A and B are shown apart, each in its own frame.
Chain A
Amino acid sequence: MPPRRFLTILLPAVAGALFVAIWIFVRASLSEDFRFLLPAPTEVLAAFRDHGDELWRATLNTAAGATLGFLAAVVVSFLLSLLLSLSPLVRVTFYPYLMLLQMTPIIVFAPILVLWVGAGLKSVTIITFLICFFPLAVNTTQGLVSTDRNLVELFQLYRATKLQEIRRLRIPAALPYFFTGLRIAATLAPIGALVGDYTAGSSAGDGGGLGFQTIIYSSQAKYPALFATAAVCCALGFVFVAGVLSLSWFSLRKWHDSYDRADT
C-alpha cells in the first residue's frame, strides 16, 4: 500500500479515536448531577439496541421523503433551467420568484402545507423539494448559459439546430455545474426531510420519521436516543452525498479537470 493511501485512512481514524477520547474525558470530568447532559458512547450504543426498530422505521420514512423530494427537485429544476437558459428575458422574468421561493422560511410554510396536503410523506417530500430546488436551479442555469463561445460558434458554423446545440453542447458543458448543485442539494435533502418531518411529519401509526422521533425523545428526555438519532441523520446524509459524488465521478472522471489526479 503506498504511504499516501495509508495516511488517508490512518489520519481520519486517529482523529476519530481522539474525538471519542475527548468525549469520554469531558464526561468523566462532569459532576455526577450533570452527566446526563453528555451520554457515554456505550449509552448511545445501548440506545441503538433499545430503539433500533423504531429508529430503522423512522429512517426509512425520512429517507423516502428525502429521496422523493430530491429527485423531484432534480427533474423540475433541470426543466426550469432549460427554460431559463433560453433567453435573458425569461431569466429576469422568473428569477425574482425563484429568490422568493428560496427566502420563504420552511417553518412558516409547513403549517400551510399540512393544511393543503395533510401531514406525512407528501408534506415532507414537498419541503425537501423546496429546499433542494434553488441550488440546483441556479447552478444548472449558470452552467447552461456559460458555454464556451467558441464552441457555440463551432455549432453555428455547422448549422446545428437549436436542439442539437442544447443536447450535444449545452447540456454536457453544464454537467460540472449541475453536479455542483447536486452536491449541495444532496447535503440539504436529508436535512430538508428531517425539518419537514419535524414540522409537518406524520405522528400517526408508523408514518413518523426521524424528525418525529426527535420530538418524542426530547419530550421524554431520552438523551442517549437523541444522540443515536443524530448519528442516524449523519449516516443518511453520508449516503446521499456519497451517492452523488460517485455519480459525479462516473460522469466526469474521463474528461473533467477536477478528476485529473488519480489519487484523489
Chain B
Amino acid sequence: MSSAASPSAKNVPPAVEFRAVEKRYGDGPVILDAFSLNAAPGDFIALIGPSGCGKSTLLKLIAGLSPVTAGALLLGGRTTTPESATTADELAYVFQEPTLLPWLTVAANVALPLELRATPPDRRAELVRAALALVGLESRASYYPRQLSGGQKMRVSIARALVLSPQILLLDEPFGALDEMTRDRLNEELLAIRERQSWTAFFVTHSVAEAVFLSNRIVVMSANPGRLHREIRVDLPHPRTPATRRDPAYHALVDEASQLLRSVEDTVAV
C-alpha cells in the first residue's frame, strides 16, 4: 500500500518537511545543523546514528515539544509551532519506555489521548477496543500495567499511540529494552498494523537490522553537530515476514548500513 511514488504524489505536500533546520537549547551547542529531509506520506523512515546525533531531538521537533531555532519544519505543508493544537490529533509518539500511567487500567491508558482531546465518551470504548485489537491485547483491557510483561506494556503504548488514528507516528527506540525475540515479534506486528493503517513513521533505533526490516528509507546521521550523513533506500518487498530476514538483499542492506554507521562513528571517535 504505502508506495510513496504514486502518480498523484506531485500534488500532495510532504507529510514532514525539514528545511535547513537548526536546533540548539539556549546557548548550548548546535544539536542539529542544516537538516533537510522530505518525508512523503506513507514513508517509514528509520533514523540511525551515534548517540548525540540528535535523533531523538528530531522527533521532539516534529512533535512540537520543542521549537526549531532556525530553518523551517512543515507538517503536511503547514509550518508548525509548539502551540499549534491542530497537529496534536495527527501525531503520536511512542517513547523508549512504555510511559503508561500505572494507576490506570490498560483500557484507560489507551483511552487517555481520547480523553485529553475531548473525544465524545460514546465513541471512546469502540476506539479503545479497536486499538487494543490491533496489538492483540483485548483480553488484557482491565489489567494494570504492573501485571503486564515488558513486551505487553510496549504493545499498550503502541495502542495508545494509534487510538487517535495519527497521520504521523514517532517512535523513539520503542523496542530497545526488549529481548531480541520479543523485538522481532513486535517489528512484524508493527508492519502488520501498517498494512491496515497508513501513517508516516519516524523510527529511531540503534539496531541496523531493525531499521532495514521496518523502513523504506534509512537516514544515517553523524554527530556533533547532528547532520544528515547519508540516506539508504530499502526496496525490500512487502509484506515483510521472518523470511525477509533470510533474504540476501536484506543482508546486503544491513551490511551497507552497518558500514556507513561505523564510518560515521569512527569520525566521531577521532
Given known contacts A154-B99, A169-B101, A260 and B146 CB-to-CB distance under 8 angstroms = yes
Find chain B residues with CB under 8 A from A207 CB: none
A151 x B99 contact (CB < 8 A): yes
A257 x B146 contact (CB < 8 A): yes
Query: Considering the chains assembled together, what is the distance between the CA atoms of A166 and B103 in angstroms?
Result: 15
Interface bits A227-264 vs B (CB < 8 Å: 1, else 0): 00000000000000000000000000011110010000
A164 x B116 contact (CB < 8 A): yes
Find chain A residues with CB under 8 A from B116 CB: 155, 158-160, 164, 168
Find chain B residues with CB under 8 A from A257 CB: 146
> A148 an interface residue at 8 Å Cβ cutoff?
yes
> B72 an interface residue at 8 Å Cβ cutoff?
no
Which residues on B are within 8 Å of A, measured CB to CB?
63-65, 85, 88, 91-93, 95-97, 99, 101-104, 112-113, 115-117, 144-146
Residues 159 to 181 of chain A near chain B (Cβ within 8 Å): 159-160, 164, 168-169, 172-173, 175
Best-buried of B64, B99, B115 by chain A (most CB within 10 Å): B99
Please, which residue of chain A has its CB at the minimum distance from the CB of B93? A157
The 3 closest A-B pairs by CB, nearest first: A158-B116, A150-B99, A159-B88
A151 x B101 contact (CB < 8 A): yes
Query: Considering the chains assembled together, what is the distance between the CA atoms of A226 and B116 in angstroms?
Result: 59
CB distance from B59 to the nearest CB of A (A): 10
Query: Considering the chains assembled together, what is the distance between the CA atoms of A254 and B64 in angstroms?
Result: 34
Query: Considering the chains assembled together, what is the distance between the CA atoms of A110 and B270 in angstroms?
Result: 71
Query: Considering the chains assembled together, what is the distance between the CA atoms of A256 and B101 in angstroms?
Result: 11
> A156 an interface residue at 8 Å Cβ cutoff?
yes
CB distance from A248 to the nearest CB of B (A): 13
> A50 an interface residue at 8 Å Cβ cutoff?
no
Find chain A residues with CB under 8 A from B146 CB: 255, 257, 260
CB distance from A178 to the nearest CB of B (A): 13
B65 x A157 contact (CB < 8 A): yes
Query: Considering the chains assembled together, what is the distance between the CA atoms of A160 and B117 in angstroms?
Result: 8
Query: Considering the chains assembled together, what is the distance between the CA atoms of A177 and B63 in angstroms?
Result: 31
CB distance from A258 to the nearest CB of B (A): 11
Find chain A residues with CB under 8 A from B95 CB: 150, 153-154
Given known contacts A158-B113, A160-B116, A255 and B65 CB-to-CB distance under 8 angstroms = no
Q: Pick the contact of A254: B85, B93, B96, B144 (CB < 8 A).
A: B144
Given known contacts A155-B116, A156-B65, A157-B93, A255 and B102 CB-to-CB distance under 8 angstroms = yes
B103 x A157 contact (CB < 8 A): no
Query: Considering the chains assembled together, what is the distance between the CA atoms of A255 and B116 in angstroms?
Result: 22
Given contacts A159-B117, A173-B103, A254-B144, 13 further A-B contacts (CB under 8 A): A153-B95, A154-B99, A157-B65, A157-B93, A158-B112, A158-B113, A159-B85, A164-B116, A168-B101, A168-B115, A255-B102, A256-B103, A260-B146
Please, which residue of chain B has its CB at the minimum distance from the CB of A161? B116
Query: Considering the chains assembled together, what is the distance between the CA atoms of A257 and B102 in angstroms?
Result: 9
A157 x B117 contact (CB < 8 A): no
Interface bits A79-111 vs B (CB < 8 Å: 1, else 0): 000000000000000000000000000000000
B93 x A154 contact (CB < 8 A): yes
A158 x B117 contact (CB < 8 A): yes
B65 x A153 contact (CB < 8 A): yes
Query: Considering the chains assembled together, what is the distance between the CA atoms of A255 and B145 in angstroms?
Result: 8
CB distance from A144 to the nearest CB of B (A): 15
